[in-house]
Amino acid sequence: MNFCPECGVQVDNWSAQELKWFYPLLIYFFLDFFVICIYKYSSLMEESLGNMLFADGIISTITLIFVVLYHSDLAPVFRLERLKIIPLARMLALLVAGAVAVNFLTNYISQLLYQEIYYYTLIFTDYPYPVFYSILFVCLQPAIFEELAFRGFLFTYVEKLSSPKTAILVTSLLFGIIHLDPIALIWLLPLGYIFGYFRYKYQSIWYGVIGHFVYNLVILIFEFKELYFS
Amino acid sequence: MQDLEQKYIPNSGATDTNCAHCFQSLTAADKYCRHCGFPQQGSNTEKRSFIDQVHLKKVDLTKAQHKVRNAAATLYVIAGFTALYGLIVGLGMQEDVSLMIGNIVIAILYLVLGLWSQEKPFIAILCGLILFITFILLNAFLEPDTLYKGVIVKLIIVVFLIKGVVSARQANRIISELPSEKKPVI
């Protein structure tokens, strides 16, 4: 039924309510984008551990504010009982294989294009506990806060607005774009798709958080192997 | 208008349990059609007003769909120019292969979004707009001068895409109000 038989008013007005909440999500995306750009590409912030902590702190705070704003819709995806061992193991096997392949691909591309390899963790080598900082900033922080954002509130609202398939595609696209590296889109889009698929299939954010952590950890292990043992 | 009156206002073939406008079945107590909102038991003026509104909505829908098609075409144009620029910088004088690969990846994305806009116009054009603005701003952070280069073309593209997003939303709303049209897609 579309219209009330008594007064003629349309009763299931197209998803205008959901759309009203969609625009703040765009604000989230561009706030995130500006913080990353200011840290990475502007002269306002030099690349240092303190500035990285500051920039990541801002992004994490903005993400948490949005999680609180949308908490009532997000609560079900945090339930731990939705995390099943066998699907998680399958996903992790896929991600470890993907991370190994991406590691060789990125090294190959870097050698080919720049005649050198860029290491994300070089910045930490001048500080005490480089392993601790690397795990914190390369594995843990992105795994938690990127997943809260992209497979959390962004996924939830795009799914409400459209369909699960669209939510998987849109969030993987936004996840890829926010890394601000066009070449990296080649592996970030499939990665985002895998996290989105598990988020949809098991209605849980934990697959993404654990998978993202493990994926980044494998990349990190290869970096450390090449930096310290080669 | 006379044709419309003959079609809808007298009971031209529609039974008591069928809507005179969309011919879906109704109960005798229904004052308005549950499927299209037609004032089944309303006065002739109310019925005529309803039909006029449906006609106006169809005109608006045609206009909105035209703007959506323009926005989709804009995505193809951006894809073409991005790929072309990539090839020029990669194979031309600069020989910047990384920039060429990056541009080709983004061009493929625009192309895919353009194709997707036929199925999901609102989301696809919105994603295209986000992608376009993100990389303009990223370039501006890397090289501030690029913000002013081709600013008129960039503005025209942004206007076309914004019009496409707004029109896709408008088209979805109108389609949801017109039961004879397809169900809305986002």
Question: What's at B151, amino acid-wise?
Answer: V
Number of domains chain A is built from = 1
Judging contacts by C-beta atoms under 8 Å, the chain A residues touching residue B49 are none
Rounded to a whole number, what is the distance in Å from the CA of B31 to chain A's nearest CA?
A: 5
pLDDT tens-place string over residues B9-54:
544 444 557 888 888 888 888 888 887 888 888 888 888 888 888 8
Q: Count of CB atoms within 10 A of residue B171's CB?
A: 24
Phi and psi at residue A195, in whole multiples of 5°?
Answer: -60, -40
| Alpha carbon separation from B26 to A53, A113, A157 (Å, rounded) | 65, 69, 35
* Residue in A with minimal Cα distance to B186: A162
Judging contacts by C-beta atoms under 8 Å, the chain B residues touching residue A7 are 31-32
Determine the length of chain B.
Answer: 186
What integer is the mean pLDDT of B151-174? 92
**A230 and chain B in contact, CB less than 8 A:** no
Categorise residue A104: left if φ over 0, alpha if ψ from -120 to 50, beta otherwise.
alpha
Q: Count of CB atoms within 10 A of residue A40's CB?
A: 15
By three-state DSSP, how is residue A42 classified? Answer: coil
pLDDT tens-place string over residues A3-30:
777 777 776 555 555 566 677 888 999 9
Task: Check if the beta carbon of residue B186 is closer than 8 Å to that of residue A166.
Answer: yes
Crossing angle of the two packed helices B121-142 and B151-177, in degrees rounded to 10: 160
The pLDDT assigned to B69 comes to 94
Rounded to two decimals, the ipTM of the complex is 0.87
Asked whether the beta carbons of residue A37 and residue B173 sit closer than 8 angstroms, the reply is no
Residues A16, A153: Cα–Cα separation, whole Å: 18
Phi and psi at residue B115, in whole multiples of 5°?
Answer: -65, -40
What integer is the mean pLDDT of B159-186? 80
Task: Check if the beta carbon of residue A113 is closer than 8 Å to that of residue A170.
Answer: no
**Domain residue limits at A30:** 2-228
Q: Which residue has the tokens 């006065």?
A: B43
Task: Check if the beta carbon of residue A176 is closer than 8 Å to that of residue A59.
Answer: no
Judging contacts by C-beta atoms under 8 Å, the chain A residues touching residue B39 are 8
Residues A29, B41: Cα–Cα separation, whole Å: 50
CB neighbour class for A50 (10 Å; exposed up to 12, middle 13-18, buried from 19)? exposed
Q: Rounded to the nearest 5 degrees, what angle is found at the Cα of A70, between the Cα atoms of A172 and A26?
A: 45
Asked whether the beta carbons of residue B109 and residue A15 sit closer than 8 angstroms, the reply is no
pTM over 0.90: no
Residues A180, B140: Cα–Cα separation, whole Å: 13
**B117 and chain A in contact, CB less than 8 A:** no
pLDDT tens-place string over residues A134-179:
899 999 999 999 999 999 999 998 888 888 999 999 999 999 999 9
